[in-house]
Amino acid sequence: QVQLVESGGGLVQPGGSLTLSCAASGFSFSSYAMRWYRQAPGKEREFVARIPAVTGYSTTYADSLKGRFTISRDNAKNTAYLQMNSLKPEDTAVYYCSAALPGANTVYWGQGTQVTVSS
């Protein structure tokens, strides 16, 4: 069974930090590019970050998040991460991870984890 399970969300004060995890199983994790997306209430899903399948290749971030968010992966643990710093109330959203095999059509999605930034 293919699974992506996000964790690490919660309530944090503005200016604080959180690290989200995405645990993968049921597929060859190291062959897949990983992405994070988020969706705030009443808004469309938006791209957050991408890390290629090949360790050491360039990562990609939404322009508005560069310098605050960092995506990483640990292939030995079949896990992707999103380190979020200097959090703002507008970062409040459900955060989703996804996996895609480069050059293929199959994309997997997790169920999401809630991040709430509030004082």
Contact 59, 50 (CB under 8 A): yes
pLDDT at residue 47 greater than cutoff 90? yes
With CA atoms as reference, report the closest residue to 96 among 27, 32, 40: 40
Structure tokens of 65? 């998040």
Q: State the pairing for strand pair 10-12/113-117.
A: parallel
User: What pLDDT does residue 57 have?
Assistant: 79
- Look up residue 15 and give its two tokens: 């200016």
Based on its alpha-carbon atoms, the radius of gyration of the chain, rounded to whole angstroms, reads 14
State the average pLDDT over residues 7-26: 98
Q: How far apart are CA 100 and CA 71, in angstroms?
A: 15
Is the pLDDT score of 52 beyond 80? yes
